[in-house]
Every structure is written in structure tokens, then in C-alpha cells.
């Protein structure tokens, strides 16, 4: 096992060189460079164009440019952005974090909703709820993300008009000013409900565990949702009344900023997560059906095990194995951003920055992103393989 | 006692602003309020020596001063940090007097040293500032020297008409000089986006307050600013200026429709309709002015006179051929289909909004396929072959490729309309959109023997208010002399007579100081271009500005123009509520 891990890690080195070299060449294959756009500016003369090329090192031979970039990488320096004139990390760092907010929330949403629905659909195959989920899944898969994003924006405008309130944000990640007063009042109003919910589910949980039963998924979910909500509302309840009605975002307390970001993220996460959710739901259903028709399930049922145990202990555990292999793919996805939705809904994630870098041919910004993604992809694959060996006793690495 | 205090305050105010600039707004406004706009992309830097794109310079211009600019009402030169000027030596020398008492936001005075230092850095070849071309005239430097603490002098190698327009940004010497001494890289690293906004010193109407990457730039009023309104109240009126970064045009529209942005420029008829509908539904208190002007941008077709195929080179050099092509441009359809009905036909190189120099009295080769056919017949293309294409006596088919940059839907549609009309009379036009950078390469990089590979390109240039700044397009050795490009900064090998005339007119226009004479020169220039069509202009998109009615100090409809925008000065815009 140890030998396998070492071998896999060693393989990363040539893969890294190959991948980055290829990326570098592909970027250079595209016609023009960072300076090309300026050539159509009537106020620029030949001399300053040539000067600029020289200054940015774009006139040097490609091997030299690549070697220079690589020597920076070994010192942990991603290079200098041609258009921002600062190092690449300070251009993309914050944006990767912003994108991660979306991707993490969307991934959570996908897994938390898709797996239960998939299991439910498989167990209740061809019933009306299953058919409805199937239709919804196809819809979700069919709508392109960016278009759904636009629909969501106009939905937000329409909803806000209808209620004459700010129910949904019109794009963006934060507001310039935060209405702390509104947030505090909302928390005061909602807190009792959350508290009651927590108590109800807490009691259920306690009752079940006292009877020696494992709590159901619903109880878990209810307890977590209500419990976390009540905890989150403690901060505005305690701190809120003493604060001014309205403060600029940068001066607001952490809880207000987090709430504001989550509020903005809500419609975006729905848009980003829908297609993944729909896809995963179908895959889960298929997996589950596959497993449920296996002999050992029939054996388990024949033994007289309860249906719950058959489904959750025998079927589900086997059905989720393929998803473990997908976990490694999530890692590069985390920094890859949420795609065009970010552009459409003005989320300051990595996609708009990457698109700008590509259209401006800001080589090192593109290379920086590719490098980080490549490394994470490789590491993620190793992790997936190891996880697989761990959950599936049939797989052995030697 | 109170009176004395008041007088004392007056004296103090007088000392602080000895010679303020009076900003004549459209109305007297009130202090306070916020102004919120959207921008399609993030700024790249706060450093004016590094900035190259409008997303950066639009913000820098709010916090860094410049000597002079255009009067928004008359488009004549107007003093900003320079309170007055004097022209000597038959226009070879201009002496600018600065506003005494003007201060940076950190309290230091803005003096001739700041101006001279900034000029030195902008002119430094190693720095490669975007404004460097303002310091060179035909290869010779324009020299800037300090006369006294509040006077600077510019010496030009030859008389220069735009000499009074000095719009490069002036930086605080006490901040930039140590970095400049340490080296160009240190200078360029200064005032980048990670610099804390509090460290950015302002000499303009606003100062930087905060920047959240990908989200917004917030500027607040600079209390040390050297401007007042006509009643001597300090400007800017606005307390806060927010630029929201919204990278998608539809999302920008959504922000405006929701009342979250104060101004918006509708890109097409569809967006205009959406804004109008919302105003009519009573959901948005705003005004929109569709087609009130056209934008400065141009779209034109240029043929390659340096073609490696001698047949095509000869064809493209025929003025009859180019006129025939002009006759094939259905500008009415182009406006209807490509611009959604909002726009104007363009016939000559000076943009329509540029009232000081624009003339409509030029030869126009209007849409007329019969006339085009006739002209092509005069060139020998009289018969059609079996496939229906025009051929000459030697059997050569009249064909060429037309390319434009991919993704620009307006240009793509214009190109398609042109192709369809040309094909109707038997001209075999193959249209293909290609990558922008590839297009620039084909256009600007001739092979060693001076030939280029393209046939025809549909492209545009952003126009400006000063025709002399486009000399790289029109002078024979210019780097953007697109139709007939020389190699290595030299004149093209084979030059037509009218090109020499254009070159002469451009040079004369740039060195003539009398405004009326200048206009005459540029009117003639437009006529020569329109008649000989080295560049065949198509249509100019409309300028459709919209704004919330909560804003005051804005232009009435008749005065709105795409050069200045919706308000004469940002200093005199205010929030009514």
C-alpha cells in the first residue's frame, strides 16, 4: 500500500511537467499575445508597442518564457499578471475563495438532496412521485446553467416587484450597505420557531435513542437544520440591538456579512446545483435499482431482515461506491468555479477572471489557474483511489 | 463675535481655495447623496502609469487631476488643474498656470513639481505609460519645464493644435518619486489593487474608500478638492460614488431595472424596450433617451492593397471597385437588422457626435446595386459564369473573402448583409468570422516582402474627439494605415495620389492652431476619404442612455451626447432625494 502511494506521487512529477508544458504551448498557439489588442489603438505607435512587448518578456523565445515561469513555480511564485502588474495569486486568490462558497454549498445541496431522492425513487419505482422526480430531473438537465441564471435574475426582479420587498438579490455577492436592523428583527421573529423545531426534533432523537432505535434520516436532518439555525441566530440576537440600523459591508460584524453572502448565494447555488442534482439523482436511482436486484439483497430479505436494514445497510452502502470514486474529481472542481453562472449573476468568482485573462491573453494568470487545477486533480485522483480501496474490499493495490 | 468667527472662516476657506475651478452645472445642486453605476469589468490598477483600459482609467480620473480637458458645452479646451494658459512663440510654447492652493487629500499642495515629475515619468520610455504619445510629436520630445512653483512650460518641436489638451494624470511626487528612483518595477508596483485605499492620495473630486475585488469600488467625496459651483459651494456634491462590477450586460440591465444603478446605456432596441416598459408600468422612476446620439465607435470594411495576388491588389486599388462595394451596402437594413433600428449610417471618418469637425456634406455612394453592377462592368466584369458569378474577359471570377472578429454580433450581421447583397449581383463574397487577435495579426503584420494575406476585413476603431490623435491611421507611415501598410515604419511602396493628400491634410490639421482653419482642413479630409473610400464606413450604433430621475445636474435631452455623456461634470451631479 505504502509503495503504491509513493509510486503514485512520483508519477505526479512527469504528469505535472507534461500538463503545464502542454497548457503553455496551447496558450501560445492562439494567435496574438497580450499586446495585440493595443495595436488597434490609433494613439499607440509602433515604438511603444515594441517596448511593451520587450518589457513584458513577450519577445523572448518560448522555451525561455516557460523556463522562467517554471523557476518561479519552484519558489512558490505563480508569476506576474501582465494586466494587473501584481503576482498572480493576489489576482486569483480571493476569487477562488468566492467561487468555493458556491461550489461547496452546491455540492452539499446536491448530495444532501440527490441521494435521498434517488433512493426513494428506486424503492418506489414507477409511482407518481418517482415519475415527477424523473420529469424534474430531465428539466434540470436540459436547462443550460447560464440561461437558468438569467431566468433567476428576472424572477428575482419580478418577485421583488410583486412583494415590494427585497426577497431575492439581483446578482452580486454582497451589498454595499447591510440592514442590520432588518436582520436583527428577522432573527428575533424567527428564533422562537427555530428553537421550538430544535426542541421537537431533539426530543424525537432522544426518544428514539432511548428505545435503542437508530434515528431516521428525517430526524437527523430536522435536528441539524433547526439546531444550526438557532445557533446562527444567537449572534444577531445578542449583538444586533446595540448596532446601528445600517452599516457599510466592510464595517459590519461577521454574522451579518456571512448572512448577506449566504442570501446572495441562495439563488446562485440553486442555479449551479440543479443540473448536478438532476444528474446525480438519476445515477443514484440507477445504482440503487442495480443493487436491489442483486442476489444478496434477496438473501437478506429471505433471512427476514427488516426492509430498513436491507435498504440502508446492504443496498445503499453498495450503491454509493461509485460516488466515492467521484470525490477526487470534486477537489479541482472546488477551485474551478461555477462557470458562466458567475458571469451572468455577477458573482465575483474565478470564471469571470479566467475569461478576462483568456481574452486578454494574460498568460500567467491562465497558467496559474491551470497549475493549481492540475495539481488538485492529480492529488484528488490519488485520494479517490485510496478511498476506493478503503471502502471496497474487492479492490487491492499492491 | 459670531460675525468675526464667520469672517475668520471665510478667510480660512479663501486661503484653502485661493483659485478654485468653477464648475458650471446644469443647475445648482445640494450636498450629499450617492451615485451608483455599473462597470463591465474590474479595474486593473490604481497606478496611472500602468493603466491601459477604461475600467481602470474611468476610476483613476475621479481621483487624479489633469491640466486641461474639453468644455462639455462647447468642446473647446478648458482648464482643470491649470487655471489659465498663454501661448507664445507662434504656438511653440505654452505656459500653464496652476491653481494656487490646490491640495492633495493628504494636505500637501499640488505644485509645478508634481506636474513636471508626472510628465517626466509619463514620457519615460522604460515606464511605457499609455499617455506616452502625448509627449512625442513626430519622433521629437515635447519638453516640460518648471517656471515657478505654480507655473509650468511646455515646448513643442513644432506648432501642435491639440497642445492645449493635456489630459494625462498628475500624481503626487512625494509618493511616486522614491519608487521611481528605485526603478521602473518599483514604480509599476505602486498603487496596485492590493494597496490599502487609505494610502491612495487624491487630487480629484473623489477619493478611494474601498475596493472589493469583483464586486465594487467605492469612492467618497474629497473635501480638499479645488472645485466649486457657481455659488462658490464646494463640489463634488455627491458624497459617495460606487462602481458595481457586473460582467454581463443583461445583469447590468437587471440592476438598473431594480433601481440599484443610477445610469445605464442600453445596447440595443430590446433593452430600450425593457426599460420603457418598466417605466410605463410605474415600477421605475427613470428616463431613457433612445437614439439620442450615436456612439464614437465605427464599423468599416477595409480592402488589402498589399495583396500577394497582383490581380486582387490591382482590383482593390481601383476606386471604381471600392465605390461599387459602397453601393452594395444596404445601410438601412444594417441599421434595422444589426442595430435593431437604432443607429445612423456613417459616410466619413470623423464620428458624427464630434460636432466641432464633423460634416455631413461629403460624397455619398448610397445603396444602389445597379450602379455597382455598372461600375464593375467598367472594370471588365461584364459577364456571369455558369455558377452566376461575375467574370472578366480572362475568366477571373470576382471573388474575395470577408472576415470580422468572432463574437461581435453587430459586425457579424453587417458582414452578412453586405455579403448577401454582393452575391445578388454576382460578386462572390465568402464571409467568415475569425478570432480577434488573428484578425489584428493579418491586418497589422505584413510579410517581409510587404504583402498581407487577407482580402477584406470588417473592423472598427474607437473614435475620439481630437482628429489629430488618429494620425496613425491616416498618415502614410502610420502603424494603422490599414489598407496600404508600409513595412517597418516606412511608407508603403506604392502610394495613390489621394493618400498623399490625406497625409498632408492630417499633418496640416495637427499643426494649424486656428480653429476655423482646422475645421476647413478636416472637412476637406472627410470629403477626400468619402470620395476615395480607402475605408468604407457602414453604420454607427446608437447611444441610448437611461437614468433614474433621482439624479440632478444632468443634461436635458437636447444636450446629451455620447462624447460627454449625460451630465456636463460629475462634480455637479447630485441626488435629489
Q: Residues B372, B424: contact at Cβ < 8 Å? A: no
pLDDT, tens only, A92-149: 888 888 988 998 899 888 888 888 899 889 989 899 999 999 999 999 889 888 889 8
* Full-model pTM: 0.85
Residue B18 has pLDDT above 70, yes or no: no
- Poorest-confidence range of A1-10, B431-440, B513-522? A1-10
Which chain A residues are within 8 Å of B47, Cβ to Cβ? 85
Residue B84 has pLDDT above 80, yes or no: yes
Mean pLDDT of B381-398: 93
pLDDT, tens only, B306-345: 999 999 999 999 999 999 999 999 999 999 999 988 999 9
Nearest-5° Cα angle at A251, A246 to A256:
65
pLDDT score for A386:
81
pLDDT, tens only, B484-535: 998 877 899 899 999 999 999 999 999 888 889 999 999 999 999 999 999 9
Q: Check if B258 contacts A (Cβ < 8 Å).
A: yes
Q: Residues A340, A145: contact at Cβ < 8 Å? A: yes
Distance of CA B223 to the CA centre of its chain: 30
Which chain B residues are within 8 Å of A82, Cβ to Cβ? none
pLDDT, tens only, A220-235: 888 888 888 888 888 8
Q: Where are the alpha helices (DSSP H) in B248-309?
A: 249-257, 269-280
Contact B213 A95 (CB under 8 A): yes
Q: Check if B47 contacts A (Cβ < 8 Å).
A: yes
Query: Bigger pLDDT: A275 or B11?
Result: A275
- Taking each helix axis from N to C end, the angle separating A350-360 and A88-123, rounded to the nearest 10 degrees, works out to 130
CA distance B272 to B544: 7
Q: Residues B342, B381: contact at Cβ < 8 Å? A: no
Contact B469 A85 (CB under 8 A): no
Q: Check if A163 contacts B (Cβ < 8 Å).
A: no
Question: What is the distance in angstroms between the Cα of A230 and the nearest Cα belonging to chain B?
Answer: 30
Contact A31 B437 (CB under 8 A): yes
pLDDT score for B12:
45
Distances (CA, A) of B525 to A198, B138, B373, B518: 80, 20, 28, 10
Residue A81 has pLDDT above 60, yes or no: yes
pLDDT, tens only, A152-196: 988 998 898 888 888 899 888 998 888 888 888 888 899 999 999
DSSP B302-320: EE-TTBSSHHHHHHHT-HH
pLDDT score for A261:
93
Contact B212 A174 (CB under 8 A): yes
Neighbour count for residue B363 (Cβ, 10 Å): 16
* Residues 6+ positions from B240 with CB-CB distance below 8 Å: B33, B34, B35, B209, B218, B219, B220, B221
Residue A382 has pLDDT above 60, yes or no: yes
pLDDT, tens only, B206-265: 999 999 888 999 999 999 999 999 999 999 999 999 999 988 888 899 899 989 999 999
Mean pLDDT of B138-142: 88
Half-sphere exposure of A1 (CA within 13 A, CB side): 9
What residues 322-351 of chain A have any CB closer than 8 A to a CB of chain B?
343-349
Which chain B residues are within 8 Å of A150, Cβ to Cβ? 250
Percentage, residues of chain B above pLDDT 90 = 75
Which chain B residues are within 8 Å of A35, Cβ to Cβ? none
A158: nearest CA partner in chain B: B258
Count Cβ neighbours within 10 Å for each residue of B318-344 and write b for 16 or more, e otherwise.
Answer: eeebbbbbbbbbbbebbbbebbbebbb
Mean pLDDT of B78-98: 94
Question: What is the distance in angstroms between the Cα of A334 and the nearest Cα belonging to chain B?
Answer: 18
Q: Check if A157 contacts B (Cβ < 8 Å).
A: yes
Mean pLDDT of B173-200: 93
Residue B5 has pLDDT above 60, yes or no: no
Q: For residue A360, what pLDDT band results from cuts at 50, 70 and 90?
A: confident
Amino acid at each position: 500500500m505504502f509503495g503504491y502511494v509513493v509510486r503514485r506521487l512520483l508519477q505526479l512529477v512527469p504528469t505535472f511537467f507534461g500538463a503545464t508544458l502542454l497548457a503553455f504551448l496551447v496558450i501560445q498557439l492562439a494567435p496574438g499575445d497580450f499586446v495585440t489588442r493595443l495595436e488597434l489603438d490609433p494613439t499607440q505607435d509602433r515604438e511603444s508597442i515594441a517596448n511593451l512587448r520587450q518589457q513584458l518578456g513577450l519577445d523572448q523565445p518560448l522555451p525561455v518564457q516557460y523556463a522562467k515561469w517554471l523557476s518561479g513555480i519552484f519558489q512558490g511564485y505563480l508569476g506576474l499578471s501582465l494586466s494587473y502588474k501584481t503576482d498572480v495569486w493576489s489576482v486569483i486568490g480571493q476569487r477562488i475563495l468566492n467561487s468555493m462558497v458556491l461550489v461547496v454549498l452546491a455540492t452539499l445541496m446536491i448530495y444532501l438532496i440527490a441521494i435521498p431522492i434517488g433512493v426513494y425513487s428506486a424503492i418506489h419505482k414507477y409511482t407518481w412521485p418517482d415519475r415527477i422526480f424523473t420529469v424534474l430531473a430531465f428539466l434540470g438537465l436540459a436547462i443550460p446553467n447560464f440561461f437558468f441564471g438569467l431566468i433567476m435574475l428576472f424572477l428575482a426582479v419580478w418577485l421583488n416587484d410583486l412583494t415590494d420587498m427585497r426577497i431575492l438579490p439581483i446578482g452580486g455577492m454582497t451589498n454595499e450597505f447591510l440592514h442590520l436592523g432588518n436582520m436583527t428583527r428577522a432573527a428575533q421573529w424567527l428564533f422562537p420557531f427555530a428553537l421550538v423545531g430544535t426542541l421537537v426534533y431533539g426530543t424525537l432523537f432522544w426518544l428514539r435513542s432511548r428505545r435503542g432505535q437508530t434515528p431516521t434520516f428525517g430526524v437527523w436532518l430536522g435536528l441539524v437544520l433547526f439546531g444550526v439555525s438557532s445557533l446562527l441566530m444567537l449572534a444577531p440576537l445578542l449583538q444586533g440591538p446595540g448596532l446601528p440600523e445600517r452599516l457599510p459591508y466592510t464595517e459590519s460584524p461577521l454574522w451579518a456579512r456571512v448572512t448577506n453572502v449566504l442570501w446572495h448565494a441562495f439563488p446562485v447555488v440553486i442555479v449551479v446545483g440543479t443540473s448536478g442534482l438532476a444528474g446525480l439523482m438519476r445515477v443514484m436511482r440507477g445504482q440503487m435499482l442495480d443493487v436491489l436486484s442483486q442476489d444478496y439483497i434477496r438473501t437478506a430479505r429471505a433471512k427476514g431482515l427488516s426492509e430498513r436494514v436491507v435498504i440502508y445497510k446492504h443496498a445503499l452502502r453498495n450503491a454509493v461506491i461509485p460516488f466515492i470514486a467521484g470525490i477526487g474529481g470534486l477537489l479541482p472542481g472546488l477551485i474551478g468555479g461555477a462557470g458562466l453562472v458567475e458571469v451572468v449573476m455577477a458573482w465575483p468568482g474565478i470564471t469571470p477572471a479566467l475569461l478576462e485573462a483568456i481574452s486578454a491573453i494574460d498568460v500567467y494568470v491562465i497558467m496559474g489557474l491551470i497549475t493549481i487545477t492540475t495539481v488538485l486533480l492529480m492529488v484528488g485522483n490519488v485520494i479517490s483511489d485510496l478511498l476506493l480501496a478503503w471502502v471496497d474490499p474487492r479492490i487491492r493495490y499492491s | 463675535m459670531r460675525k468675526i468667527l464667520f469672517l475668520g472662516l471665510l478667510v480660512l476657506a479663501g486661503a484653502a481655495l485661493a483659485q478654485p475651478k468653477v464648475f458650471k452645472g446644469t443647475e445648482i445642486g445640494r450636498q450629499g447623496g450617492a451615485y451608483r453605476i455599473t462597470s463591465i469589468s474590474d479595474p486593473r490598477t490604481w497606478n496611472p502609469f500602468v493603466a491601459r483600459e477604461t475600467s481602470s482609467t474611468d476610476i483613476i480620473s475621479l481621483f487624479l487631476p489633469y491640466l486641461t480637458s474639453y468644455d462639455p458645452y462647447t468642446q473647446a479646451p478648458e482648464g482643470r488643474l491649470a487655471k489659465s494658459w498663454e501661448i507664445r512663440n507662434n504656438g511653440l510654447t505654452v505656459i500653464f498656470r496652476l491653481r494656487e492652493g490646490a491640495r492633495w487629500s493628504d494636505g500637501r499642495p499640488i505644485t509645478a513639481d508634481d506636474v513636471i515629475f508626472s510628465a517626466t515619468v509619463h514620457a519615460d520610455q522604460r515606464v511605457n505609460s499609455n499617455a506616452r504619445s502625448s509627449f512625442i510629436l513626430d519622433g521629437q520630445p515635447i519638453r516640460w519645464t518648471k517656471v515657478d512653483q505654480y507655473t509650468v512650460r511646455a515646448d513643442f518641436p513644432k506648432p501642435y493644435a491639440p497642445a492645449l489638451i493635456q489630459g494625462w494624470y498628475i500624481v503626487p511626487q512625494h509618493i511616486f518619486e522614491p519608487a521611481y528612483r528605485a526603478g521602473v518595477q518599483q514604480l509599476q508596483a505602486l498603487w496596485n489593487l492590493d494597496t490599502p485605499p487609505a494610502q491612495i492620495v487624491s487630487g480629484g473630486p473623489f477619493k478611494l474608500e474601498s475596493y472589493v475585488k469583483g464586486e465594487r469600488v467605492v469612492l467618497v467625496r474629497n473635501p480638499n478638492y479645488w472645485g466649486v459651483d457657481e455659488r462658490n459651494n464646494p463640489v463634488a456634491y455627491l458624497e459617495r460614488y460606487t462602481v458595481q462590477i457586473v460582467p454581463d450586460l443583461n445583469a447590468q440591465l437587471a440592476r438598473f431595472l431594480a433601481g440599484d444603478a443610477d445610469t445605464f446605456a442600453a445596447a440595443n432596441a430590446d433593452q430600450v424596450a425593457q426599460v420603457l416598459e418598466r417605466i410605463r408600468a410605474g415600477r421605475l422612476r427613470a428616463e431613457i433617451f433612445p437614439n439620442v446620439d450615436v456612439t464614437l465607435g465605427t464599423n468599416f470594411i477595409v480592402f488589402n492593397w498589399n495583396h500577394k495576388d497582383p490581380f486582387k491588389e490591382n482590383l482593390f486599388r481601383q476606386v471604381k471597385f471600392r465605390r461599387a462595394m459602397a453601393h452594395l451596402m444596404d445601410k438601412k437594413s444594417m441599421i434595422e437588422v444589426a442595430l435593431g433600428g437604432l443607429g445612423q449610417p456613417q459616410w466619413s471618418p470623423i464620428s458624427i457626435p464630434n460636432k466641432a469637425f464633423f460634416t455631413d456634406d461629403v460624397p455619398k455612394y448610397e445603396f444602389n446595386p445597379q450602379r455597382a453592377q455598372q461600375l464593375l462592368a467598367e472594370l471588365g466584369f461584364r459577364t456571369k459564369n455558369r455558377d452566376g458569378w461575375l467574370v472578366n474577359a480572362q475568366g477571373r471570377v470576382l471573388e474575395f473573402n470577408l472576415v470580422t472578429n468572432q463574437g461581435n454580433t453587430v459586425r457579424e450581421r453587417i458582414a452578412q448583409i453586405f455579403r448577401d447583397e454582393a452575391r445578388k449581383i454576382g460578386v462572390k463574397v465568402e464571409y467568415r468570422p475569425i478570432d480577434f487577435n488573428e484578425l489584428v495579426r493579418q491586418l497589422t503584420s505584413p510579410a517581409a516582402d510587404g504583402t498581407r494575406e487577407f482580402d477584406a476585413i470588417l473592423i472598427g476603431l474607437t473614435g475620439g474627439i481630437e482628429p489629430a490623435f488618429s494620425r496613425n491611421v491616416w498618415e502614410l507611415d502610420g502603424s494603422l494605415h490599414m489598407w496600404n501598410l508600409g513595412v517597418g515604419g516606412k511608407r508603403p511602396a506604392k502610394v495613390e495620389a489621394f493618400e498623399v493628400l490625406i497625409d498632408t491634410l492630417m499633418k496640416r490639421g495637427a499643426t494649424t492652431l486656428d480653429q476655423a482653419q482646422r475645421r476647413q482642413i478636416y472637412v476637406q479630409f472627410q470629403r477626400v476619404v468619402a470620395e476615395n473610400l480607402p475605408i468604407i464606413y457602414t453604420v454607427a450604433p446608437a447611444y441610448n442612455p437611461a437614468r433614474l430621475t433621482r439624479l440632478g445636474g444632468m443634461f436635458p435631452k437636447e444636450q446629451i451626447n455620447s462624447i460627454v455623456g449625460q451630465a456636463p461634470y460629475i462634480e455637479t451631479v447630485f441626488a435629489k432625494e
